[in-house]
Structures are given as C-alpha cells and as structure tokens.
Structure 1
Amino acid sequence: MPQVTGYAPGWPTWAELASPDVEASNAFYCGLFGWYAYTVTIPGLADYEIFTLGDVQGPAVGGMQALADDAQPASWTCYFRTENLRASVDTVVRMGGQELMPPTDISNLGRMALCSDPEGADFAFWLPGTLKGAGVADEPSTVCWVELACRDLEGARRFYGEVFGWRAVDRDYYSPYYTNFKVGDWSVAGMLSLDELWTPDYPAHWMPYFWVEDCDASTARAAELGARVRLPPTDIKPGRFAMMTDPAGARLALITPEPGDRAEIRTRP
C-alpha cells in the first residue's frame, strides 16, 4: 500500500504501546519487525518513542510510551480518527462508556483523548496535527487490522455505531460470531466474541494485527524473543494468523493475509 497521507473519520490511524520497560520493548519489536525507534521529546509530557520502517527517515508505523503507573498492565492502544474530539468523547459517555483522559494536546503532533467502551475496552481518538497517523499500512511489518474482543456483541454494535458511524457486517471467519465494521464500503475493524474458549474474567480489549510475510516463522521468532503464544498459527479465510502477548504482557496478533488486492478485499460486501 502507498504511504498514507491522511485518514477519514472512523478509521484506525495509530497504534501505541504502553510498556513498563521501553528498552526491552524496543529490542522485542525491532527484533521482530525490523523496525527502527527514535525518541521524541514532548514539552510537558514524557518522552515518546516512534517506530519506523527502515531508519529514522522511514515512515512511522506506531508509537510507545513508558507506563505511568507500574500497577497498570502493558497494552497496545488503538487510535481512531475523529473530526470533533469533544463531541466524540461526549458520545462515548452518553452511550455508557468512560472518558479516561480528556482531550489533550500532544505538542504540535495532534490532539487525543482516551476512552473505554461499556465493557471496559480502552481505545483513543486522534485529531491530527503534524502527525496524521501511521505513514504506511497494509504491508509487511505494519498494522493491517484492529480487532475488538468482547461479550456483548449487540451492545458493542450500538455503541461503536453511534461513536464512529460504523456499519456492522457478519462474517464466518474464525468463529461464528465475527463482525466487520465498515466506514462506507471499507472494512476498517473487526469484532469477535469472548466465548467459552476464554476464561470468564478475561477482559474486553482492542488488539492490533501486524502483517508478516510468514506467520509461522514470525511466531517462532516472537517466541524466541520472549513472547507467549496464546494461539498458534491458524488458517482462516483472511489468512494465517497467531495471537500472543509480548514479553511485558501486551496483546498482539500476527497475520499473513490472503493473497489479493487489498482494496478489493477490504470492500467486499
């Protein structure tokens, strides 16, 4: 996919890791995906790591910050584009979610807010400044999908339909309860059920999928680097994928997508 210069409202734009050990996380992700990482100093906030493809001049693919509280778990946060940050946060609250971090300026990069849905799955809004979002997507070593795992599927459909204007379409991929969320004709995110295969106390969550050229080899490499594989490489209609937690416990998935034109695949009815 060509480099991305902007995102429409409702689209995932950025993925950000919160880590208890920035140096160790750099070693894991750069070792797994071949990323480069550099530090940005943001006045009034903690230092921020930017992951890129190739080197410091390469397109940005994601970010990382140190956990503010050691009691918090490591996690990836999925960011979604909005045109009106305050109105989006107000809709979250009106629909039963929570405002976890109010609209905040991130220097000249943009403006963000952190929220959670009614089941407690965290996500963030992004109103871009100089950082439009990931500079490239839908190619190896980049985020190519984001997915919500929850229990109240109908409630999530209503919530995210109001918040982002998403249209829900049923699929028969990995489980009989899989949903694609669409903006117009484009599939932008997915949702699966936390069914009996998950423990009753497993929390609802958003998770990024990273494109890899060989799911089996990349999963083995992740394990060598300290990841815990939760679901080994498995074939589904969209490709071959695996789920894992990184050495600090943050959830992520790897996928080698099915061959074909990405625009055609994303715009399937």
Structure 2
Amino acid sequence: MITTSNTPNLPGWLDLGSPDPAASAAFYRKVFGWTSEAAAGDEQNEDMGEYLLLSKDGKVVAGLGGLQSAKEQSEWTVYVRVPDIDAAAQTAASLGGAVRAPAMKVGSEGSLAQLTDATGAKFALWQPGEFTGFGRACEDDSLLWIELYTRDTAAAKRFYGEVFGWQTEAYSMPEGAYDMWTTNPGVGTDAFGGMMQISPDMPIQTELWVPYFMVADTDATIARALEAGGEVLMPAVDAPPGRLAALTDQFGAHFNLLKPAPM
C-alpha cells in the first residue's frame, strides 16, 4: 500500500503541473479542503519556480507548481522513491524509457528526475534527503491508489518490474480483468496501484498515470468538484473496491475518487 514511511521503490510523492497554480490550489481547497503554502528554503529551485505544498490537517499530501512550457498538459505526476536515482534512471533508459529531465538536487530535501516509461507514460523519481514524501496517505482526502492507463500492458509489466521490482496480480471485475501493482502477490495490503488497458470507449486515450484520492463521500466530493469548475468523466458507481468516479479539474488534469467498501 502507499505509505508515509520512507519505503524504497514505492510511490512516495505526487505533484500537479498547472498553468495557474493559485487557481489550482483554490480548486483543490474547495474539493478536498487542502491548504497550500510555498515550500520553504531548500525546497525552492530557480529552474522549477515557486512550488506549493498542499496539506490536509497539517500533513502534506502533494505538491503544486507551474508548467514548464505552454505546450504541456496539466496533469498529476507520480514520484517513486528510489535509493539511487542515477541507477534507476539508467535502468529505465536501458529498457526503452526516456529521461526527460536528469537528476537534479533540490537543496537538502532530496533529488528528482523526470522520466517517461517504455509505453509513453510520464512519471518521476525521488531520492529522499530530508524530505521523504507524503505526510498523509491512505486516509480521507489523500492519495490511496495509482493507476496506469496504457495500450501495452506487457511492456509496462516488464518495464516497472525491472526498474522497481514491481509485480502484478490479476483482479477480477464485472467489466473484465484488471492488473494490480504489488510488491507481494497474494497479500492484498501490499497492492498500491493498478493498470488499465486503453480501449476506444475510455475517456482517457493516452498513456497516463492517474491518482485515486480516498474520500468519505464520493458523491459529495463530485458535487464540490463540479461547483469548483471540474468535469466528471465517469459518474460515481459502486464496484468491488468501493464507490468510485473519474474527474478532471478545471485545467483538465485527471484524478479519480474512491470511498473504499467496508471491510
């Protein structure tokens, strides 16, 4: 599962690139009650511009910054914690991935790198220093799950298996087969994400990592998102994992909601 502990080779951070960070901060404040403040001191980097930390009840849940180019699409980026960022980037490149931005130190907080996997989905690496990542995860209004949309599930399995040691486990749903990302097949609590094969009828038609945020009330959260200017791609439905929905924010960044089913 996604955790606040400094566990290597698991999702450890998440941030949003926005054409208007202040407007995005206002959107997510209305939807999830997140507060925002500028990252202090070492966390600033002149190449990145101002970077905001988003928090819930005083615990950081994600980051928010401006887009590096007007050509970029606003989306959430998943960061995987790694013990050796250069080695991980080199392995990714050798497996058909691309290093879009090589490792860069962010003061004493750690180092980041921006990559694209072998199927075309963007993600990032984080080698922790003083900052290890999430202060809140798998709680209401924080990251619960990550999901990869791709046309080539076999290539994705090979890529992430070699880079991070991730494995997959089949999960049956009424709509068809679903692959879960896990570090230990057979142990449900060790699953932290999933993978969907893109089909023509899906609202997402590009290789992409999408975050799921855990919520106490899916329908009420959707209502707040719509009021704030978001869009619903998939209305709330009940599924084995719980009540879920797919949305975009006012700038088109994808995110999903899930109220977990009672255990």
Equivalent pair of 1:175/1:192 in contact (CA under 8 Å):
no
Equivalent of 1:44 in 29, 43, 46: 46
Q: Where in structure 2 are the equivalents of 1:120-135 lying within 5 Å? A: 120-135=120-135
Which digits, 9 at most, give the CA deviation of each residue in 1:167-197, with x for residues without a partner?
1101113642311111134112211110132
| CA spacing shift, 1:245–1:106, aligned 2, 3 Å | same
Q: Which residue of structure 2 lines up, in the alignment, with residue 188 of structure 1?
A: 192
Which digits, 9 at most, give the CA deviation of each residue in 1:101-150, with x for residues without a partner?
10111122111111011221000111111211111111101000011011
Counterpart Cα distance in 2 of 1:36 and 1:174: 38
- Deviation of 1:217 after TM superposition, in Å, equals 1.1
Amino acid at match of 1:73: Q
Counterpart Cα distance in 2 of 1:10 and 1:154: 20
Query: Where in structure 2 are there 5+ consecutive unaligned residues?
Result: none
Q: Which residue of structure 1 lines up, in the alignment, with residue 26 of structure 2?
A: 27
Secondary structure at the aligned position of 1:63 is classed as strand
Under a length normalisation based on structure 1, what TM-score does the superposition of the two structures give? 0.90
Any runs of at least 4 consecutive aligned residues in structure 1 with deviations exceeding 4 A, and if so which?
Answer: none
Q: Which residue of structure 1 lines up, in the alignment, with residue 209 of structure 2?
A: 206
Counterpart Cα distance in 1 of 2:18 and 2:37: 15
Q: Which residue of structure 2 lines up, in the alignment, with residue 264 of structure 1?
A: none
- Deviation of 1:207 after TM superposition, in Å, equals 0.7
Which digits, 9 at most, give the CA deviation of each residue in 1:15-47, with x for residues without a partner?
100000111101100111011100125143311
Secondary structure at the aligned position of 2:173 is classed as coil
Counterpart Cα distance in 1 of 2:46 and 2:229: 33
How many corresponding residue pairs?
A: 254
Q: Which residue of structure 2 lines up, in the alignment, with residue 98 of structure 1?
A: 98
Q: Where in structure 2 are the equivalents of 1:242-253 lying within 5 Å? A: 242-253=245-256
Secondary structure at the aligned position of 2:91 is classed as helix
Query: Where in structure 1 are there 5+ consecutive unaligned residues?
Result: 261-269
Q: Where in structure 2 are the equivalents of 1:211-222 lying within 5 Å? A: 211-222=214-225
Q: Which residue of structure 2 lines up, in the alignment, with residue 17 of structure 1?
A: 16
| CA spacing shift, 1:130–1:196, aligned 2, 3 Å | same
User: Is residue 118 from structure 1 mapped to residue 122 from structure 2 by the alignment?
Assistant: no
Which digits, 9 at most, give the CA deviation of each residue in 1:234-261, with x for residues without a partner?
111111111011001111001101123x
Counterpart Cα distance in 2 of 1:125 and 1:141: 23
Q: What's the Cα RMSD here?
A: 1.6
Counterpart Cα distance in 2 of 1:250 and 1:193: 19
Counterpart Cα distance in 1 of 2:152 and 2:209: 14
Counterpart Cα distance in 1 of 2:175 and 2:167: 19
Under a length normalisation based on structure 2, what TM-score does the superposition of the two structures give? 0.92
